[in-house]
Each structure stands twice: as C-alpha cells, then as structure tokens.
C-alpha cells in the first residue's frame, strides 16, 4: 500500500437531496481531492452512505457524483478500501468489482509499513448491544437480503428513505460517550496486547485519539458534526480535523 494512508468513516451521504446533505457531500469531496493530490491509500471504515442497497441491475442514482469521485481516485492509481458499516452493508458486484479496490464484509487486519492495524466499523461490539447483534444477524442474513431484493427498487429505496429520515442525529450525552470510550478502550487493549499497534473504529460519531499501552485507538468521528480523518505517514498515526476552509 502506498503511503500516506487515510482513514475516514460515517459520511452518511443521503438518498434524498437537501441543502445540508449537499454541503456535507461537497465538504467530503474536498477531502477526496486532497487524497487525490497526495497519491496514497484510502480506507473508508463504514457508513459512507446513510443507506446503500444494490440490486442485481440497479444502484442508487443519487450517489452518482460520489461514484465519479471514487473512480477519479482509482484512475489515479489510488487504492480505495471499503469496510462495510451498518448503513451500507448490502453491496453487490458494482461496489466489489467495479468501483472499489477491495470491499470487506467484516473487520479487517493489515500490516502497513511494519505496523499492525485492526479496522472495524464498530457496530455491535459494545457489551450492552445484545439486541442490536440479534438484529444485525437478521438483516445481514442471505434470506433476508434475497427477500428485500424481491421488492421493486423504488419501494425498497422509499422505505429506506423513511427509516433514514427517522434516524437520530443529535448525538448522545457526555456520560454515554464516556461509557462508549471506556468500552472501546478495553476492546482496543485486547488487540494491542496481541501485538496490534493501532485499532481504528467508526460508528460512534465521536472524535477520539487515545494512547493505550504501546498502541493507539482512533474513533474516527463523522462528517455530520465534526469531520476528521485518520492519517498514517509510515511511522505515526494521527486523527486530524478537516476544516471547511482546508
């Protein structure tokens, strides 16, 4: 993999047009332009889309501009790796064979410039997420996915749009966020004790960089509230805010 390496998650591009969504998309595209200028490797650690469901012959047209931006990176010989999240797990061969360098349906481990990375979108790993883990097993089941694909795409996307619009966007309390950070620190420590250098997670919409033993945990934040990205130059991993005027 070419250095530097960028890590980003939870962009949540929307199925519907709105001024807020357009601004978020334009902001993210400025980040992709920065990636393109440096010639490097990009990891998208889940929830690039607020909803993505790929039919055998149909993909969401609202994301056309994003497809174009990713293809520009690929044309520039930049690898784009995509770890699927809880909003965009349901890909098929357009994403896996045409657009991305590689798509990962589960957590992934890498060695880059002599450093060991563990990447996870992060959904379902908290001890109290038992109900979600049951739901996750159902909605990622092949039978469920096949049945959903029996719906006409217009119906499928309209239903997803309704679910998306009901989503919670205002964040959590400080107490809840601290509980999450404590649990993720323990999760990261279990990997770092096994010679992993860096653990990187998305999903929790927090921007956290934490030293743990001889390693580090990054929670990547999101592009709804406080955009940021992970940056590895071959020796150090950092979490960097991406300002609107950058």
Is residue 125 included in any domain, yes or no? yes
Is residue 19 included in any domain, yes or no? yes
Domain of residue 177 covers 5-241
Q: Which tokens in the block code for residue 116?
A: 């060991």
CATH number of the domain at 163, please: 3.60.21.10
Q: Which of the pair, 14 or 171, is modelled with greater confidence?
A: 14
For residue 246, what pLDDT band results from cuts at 50, 70 and 90? very low
Query: In the prediction, which pLDDT does 140 show?
Result: 93
Give the least confident one: 37-51, 103-117, 164-178.
Answer: 164-178
Q: Based on C-alpha coordinates, what's the Rg of the chain?
A: 18
Query: In the prediction, which pLDDT does 15 show?
Result: 84
Beta-strand relationship, 215-220 and 207-212: antiparallel
Is residue 64 included in any domain, yes or no? yes
Query: In the prediction, which pLDDT does 68 show?
Result: 97
Chain segment 93-113, per-residue pLDDT in tens: 999 999 999 999 999 999 999
Beta-strand relationship, 41-44 and 79-83: parallel
Is residue 79 included in any domain, yes or no? yes
Is residue 155 included in any domain, yes or no? yes
Is residue 87 included in any domain, yes or no? yes
Which of these, 51, 76, 75, lies nearest to 63 by C-alpha position?
51
Give the least confident one: 96-110, 190-204, 232-246.
Answer: 232-246
Q: With 80 as the cut, is the pLDDT of residue 86 above it?
A: yes
Answer for the pair 6, 230: CB distance below 8 angstroms, yes or no: yes
Name, in order, each residue with C-beta under 8 angstroms of 88's C-beta and a sequence gap of 6 or more: 46, 47, 48, 49, 51, 52
Q: With 50 as the cut, is the pLDDT of residue 245 above it?
A: no
Is residue 246 included in any domain, yes or no? no
Distance, in Å, from the CA atom of 21 to the CA atom of 28, rounded to the nearest integer, reads: 11
State the total domains in the chain: 1
Q: With 90 as the cut, is the pLDDT of residue 46 above it?
A: yes
């Amino acid at each position: 993999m070419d250095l530097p390496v960028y890590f980003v998650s939870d962009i949540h591009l929307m199925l519907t047009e709105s001024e807020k969504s357009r601004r978020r998309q334009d902001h993210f595209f400025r980040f992709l332009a920065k990636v393109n200028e440096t010639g490097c490797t990009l990891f998208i650690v889940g929830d690039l889309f607020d909803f993505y469901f790929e039919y055998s012959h149909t993909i969401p047209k609202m994301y056309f501009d994003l497809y174009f931006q990713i293809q520009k990176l690929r044309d520039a010989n930049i690898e784009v790796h995509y770890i699927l999240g809880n909003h965009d797990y349901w890909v098929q061969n357009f994403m896996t064979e045409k657009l991305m360098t590689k798509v990962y349906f589960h957590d992934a481990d890498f060695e880059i410039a002599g450093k060991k990375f563990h990447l996870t979108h992060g959904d379902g790993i908290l001890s109290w997420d038992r109900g979600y883990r049951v739901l996750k097993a159902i909605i990622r089941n092949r039978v469920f996915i096949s049945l959903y694909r029996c719906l006409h795409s217009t119906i499928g996307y309209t239903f997803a749009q309704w679910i998306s619009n009901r989503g919670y966007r205002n964040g959590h309390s400080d107490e809840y966020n601290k509980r999450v950070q404590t649990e993720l620190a323990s999760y990261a420590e279990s990997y770092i004790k096994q010679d992993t250098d860096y653990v990187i997670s998305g999903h929790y919409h927090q921007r956290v960089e934490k030293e743990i033993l001889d390693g580090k945990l990054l929670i990547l934040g999101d592009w709804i509230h406080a955009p940021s990205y992970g940056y590895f130059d071959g020796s150090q991993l950092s979490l960097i805010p991406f300002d609107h005027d950058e």
